[in-house]
Amino acid sequence: MVLAWSDRVGEVMEASNSTAKDSTALRMAFLLVAAVVIGLAYNSVTPLGVALGAKPAKPIDSEPAPSVGTGRGFQNQVIQVSWKTDSDFHKEPMLLAEGPSGKKLTWEETQSLLAANQIVLVDARDSLSYQTEHIPGAVSLPETSSEADLANFASKYPPDTALVIYCNSLKCPMGHKLAATLRSKKWGFTNIREMPGGFAEYRASMQHR
């Protein structure tokens, strides 16, 4: 009788132990499933999550930096700028074209040439008149200049320099006389035009602006 009771107690204890083991295994399986579900949910809502099956991003620093100046599109270009001086101007004289009156030029024609730095404008009036007022850009060489003054002028400007000479007005003969002097064999200037209207024509054009 005692032995039968003892066997019964053993069976009950074994059944209890088996039930406890099965319960523990079920709990562990439940925790594992819960952990996987929570992980997947977190991965879907955060930018830091790891995409399943995605290849790791290539580090930015792994790409070689482009070399400067080695490609065909980075060839150095040298731009040369040339500046013409007065001496260069005289080396390349412009042959003055004849105006509507032959070798005579109007102020409008003279002004264009002067603005383009293609001529030397010469004031044949006396020094006092030049100092009082003259056409901007003109140089003074009075018709009554001495041999020394003419020689000094000739040393600054070669014989083929484009010259335009003016005096006071149409009635003023000084411009024509100076042009004749400079064309003489002694001085040999060959590229001379006259502006007969002279300073009066220039003043009139300024008043009408």
Q: What is the CATH number of the domain that holds 102?
A: 3.40.250.10
Distance CA 197, CA 169 (A): 5
Digit-coded pLDDT (tens) for 149-206: 999 999 999 999 999 999 999 999 999 999 999 999 999 999 999 999 999 999 999 9
Residue 75 lies in a domain: no
Residue 70 lies in a domain: no
Note whether 22 and 111 are same-domain residues. no
Note whether 42 and 93 are same-domain residues. no
Residue 23 lies in a domain: yes
Note whether 199 and 98 are same-domain residues. yes
Q: What is the pLDDT of residue 92?
A: 43
Q: What is the pLDDT of residue 208?
A: 77
Note whether 193 and 96 are same-domain residues. yes
* pLDDT of 11 higher than 70: no
Residue 106 lies in a domain: yes
Name the CA radius of gyration of the chain, rounded: 53
Contact 124, 166 (CB under 8 A): yes
Residue 114 lies in a domain: yes
Note whether 113 and 170 are same-domain residues. yes
Note whether 115 and 185 are same-domain residues. yes
Total domains in the fold of the chain = 2
* Residue 50 binned pLDDT confidence (cut-offs 50, 70, 90): very low
Note whether 39 and 97 are same-domain residues. no
Note whether 41 and 92 are same-domain residues. no
* pLDDT of 21 higher than 70: no
* Residue 31 binned pLDDT confidence (cut-offs 50, 70, 90): confident
Three-class DSSP labels, 88-151: HHHHCCCCCCCECEECECCHHHHHHHHHCCCCEEEECCCHHHHHHCCCCCCEECCCCCCHHHHH
Residue 58 lies in a domain: no
The fraction of the chain above a pLDDT of 70, given in percent, is 53
Average pLDDT score over residue span 33-45? 63
Digit-coded pLDDT (tens) for 70-111: 444 434 443 333 334 444 444 444 444 444 334 799 999 999
Residue 172: both structure tokens together: 């003023």
Q: What is the pLDDT of residue 111?
A: 96
Digit-coded pLDDT (tens) for 121-156: 999 999 999 999 999 999 999 999 999 999 999 999
Q: Degrees (nearest 5) of the Cα angle 172, 189, 187?
A: 95
Note whether 31 and 95 are same-domain residues. no
* pLDDT of 10 higher than 70: no
Note whether 23 and 125 are same-domain residues. no
Residue 56 lies in a domain: no
Q: What is the pLDDT of residue 79?
A: 36
Note whether 36 and 110 are same-domain residues. no
Note whether 95 and 32 are same-domain residues. no
Residue 74 lies in a domain: no
Give the closest residue to 167 by CA, choosing from 141, 198, 126, 203.
198
Q: Which domain holds residue 177?
A: 88-207
